[in-house]
Amino acid sequence: MSMTTAFSLDPRTKLFLVACLSSCAVITTHWAFLSGLWVVSILLLLVFGISPWDMMKKIRLLLYMVIFIAMMQSIFISAGQALITIGNISLMTTGGLLMAMEFVFRMLIIVCSAGILSTSNSREIIQGLIQLKLPYELAFMASLGIRFIPVFAEELRNTMTAVQLRGIDIRVLPWRQKIEVMTGLFQPVVAGAIIKSRSLAMSIEMRGFRAYPTRSSYLLLKYERKDYVVMICSGLLTAILMFGYFFWFQA
């Protein structure tokens, strides 16, 4: 499949592909199987023309968080052989480490799935969901949510700049004050979001949102042969993988 072919797949096909990948990642619990699945998702990213390296760089903060959670999780699992101990307390065990690896691989697969979806724009994804019979209102809400993520990120950056413009270095404040400032900021940020959503709701109403029971759409998605091929192949492959997993790993 060439890169452009993969890109031009129907968003519903991509959603199906992502559903297959994420289902496998969620259902399975063996690190070796999950690592293989991760390699498959990396290959899929390459087919869709996304550089896995660039993608990992973009989400490195999330990756740090995932690794941190995995390490914390591994501390509380006592199964297996102890690797690090303090007195009688096992801080890290082989069981905990394997669980941490599973968690990391699972998250990486889900992130790669999101990467596949990012090859379609949000409008196409929403139209795909509508044509999959998701109620328009829900699909529209999802699209607004996606649209406003960068807006909120920008607002958060502005808020942090505004704090610094008041001559405050939040890093050097004592913890009590740091928490006070952050919780104090939370209220205007949330209130601002509510005020914005109220204005948005009003402007949507003024444009006649839900004026008629059904909506027509300029963009209409149509399955092509390649979509059917990809869906059948990925469905079959998922079934085989699941069968293989339960046969080999769970037997």
Residues within the interface to other proteins (CB under 8 A): 155, 158-159, 161-169, 173, 177, 181, 184-185, 187-188, 191-192, 195
Nearer to other proteins, 169 or 251 (CB): 169
Minimum distance from residue 64 beta carbon to other proteins (Å): 23
For residues 124 and 155, which CB has a smaller minimum distance to other proteins in the complex? 155
In the bound state with other proteins, the residue whose beta carbon lies nearer, of 147 and 198, is: 198
Name the residue nearer to other proteins (CB basis): 39 or 179: 179
Least separation in angstroms between residue 147's CB and other proteins is 19
Q: How far is the CB of 1 from other proteins (least distance, A)?
A: 32
Q: What is the dihedral of CA 238, 240, 243, 247, to 10 degrees?
A: -130
Length of the chain: 251
Phi, psi of 86 (to 5 degrees): -125, 110
Q: Tokens at residue 108, please?
A: 């990486």
Residue 155 CB, shortest distance to other proteins, in Å, is 7
Measure the CA angle with vertex 6, ends 40 and 241; round to 5°: 30
